[in-house]
Structures are given as C-alpha cells and as structure tokens.
C-alpha cells in the first residue's frame, strides 16, 4: 500500500467524491481504498455559494470502500486546505453526533455556541434578576 492522500475522484457513474485514499496493487489489479468518501456540492444561496457535504454511502456504517480503477474516469490529489478542513470537520462531526440533517440543514450544537433554548434562557435570566 502507498501513502494516503486527499483526492477528488470522478467515477464512471458521474459522481464526484472527495476522500482520503490509498492505492493497493492487489496482485496486479490495482484498487483504490477510500476512507470516508463524501460528495461535496456547491449550492447558491442568498448569502453566496455554500458547500453541501453528504456521505457517499448514506445508509452504510463502513468507513472504508474499495473501488477498482476501471470505475474511475479521473482523479486528482487536492491540497486545498479549506476543502480538506471542511472534509475533516464533517468527518469529526459525524463521528460524534451528527449535526447535519438529511436535508442538509445544520442543527445547532454547543460547539456552535448553542447553549439552551430561548425559553430556558429567559427563565434563567428572570431568576437572576429576581434575586438582585
């Protein structure tokens, strides 16, 4: 097996994937080993262009997939630090608790600054002011 690197793949099915990959000779029949492949799409919104990230295999719990080279049209190594950071953050978020819904909406988490609901915060503040 060779070293792993971040790669953008275009498959014969038309899918474009971003993944951490390794290559393996596999007795003369080379294959790619993909770790946590994702599909990243650009979506136009009112605030500009945003990236939507979703897993390549949505119903699978596996992290590694093997693809034969005849299923790949082209592939290129990416060193785009912003893209790699988005990929790694998505993988980290999904390994703990998923902060993405099936529609691509991001659910607030404590890491984003979400501490409580408005009603809970209001009650807490009212108690503080009643005591003073």
Letter string b/e over residues 60-71, b meaning 16 or more CB atoms within 10 A of that residue's CB: eeeeebebeeee
Instruction: Assign residue 96 the CATH number of its domain.
Output: 2.30.30.100
The tens digit of pLDDT for each residue in 61-73 reads 889 999 999 999 9
Domain annotation covers residue 118: no
Domain annotation covers residue 60: yes
CA distance 24 to 30: 6
Domain annotation covers residue 67: yes
The tens digit of pLDDT for each residue in 54-63 reads 999 988 888 9
Helix (H/G/I), strand (E/B), else coil: 36: strand
Range of the domain at 85: 5-100
Domains in the chain: how many in total?
A: 1
Do you know the residue count of the chain?
A: 132
User: What pTM, to 2 d.p., does this model score?
Assistant: 0.64
The tens digit of pLDDT for each residue in 102-128 reads 455 666 666 666 777 788 888 888 888
Domain annotation covers residue 127: no
Domain annotation covers residue 21: yes
């Amino acid at each position: 097996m060779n070293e792993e690197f971040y790669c953008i793949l275009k498959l014969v099915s038309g899918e474009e994937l971003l993944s951490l990959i390794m290559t393996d000779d596999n007795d003369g029949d080379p294959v790619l080993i993909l770790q946590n492949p994702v599909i990243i799409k650009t979506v136009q919104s009112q605030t500009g262009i945003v990236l939507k990230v979703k897993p390549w295999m949505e119903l699978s719990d596996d992290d590694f997939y093997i693809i034969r080279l005849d299923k790949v049209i082209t592939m290129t190594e990416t060193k785009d630090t912003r893209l790699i950071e988005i990929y790694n953050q998505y993988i980290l978020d999904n390994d703990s608790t998923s902060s993405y819904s099936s529609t691509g909406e991001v659910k607030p988490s404590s890491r984003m600054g979400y501490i409580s609901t408005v009603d809970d915060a209001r009650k807490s503040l009212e108690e503080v002011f009643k005591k003073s």
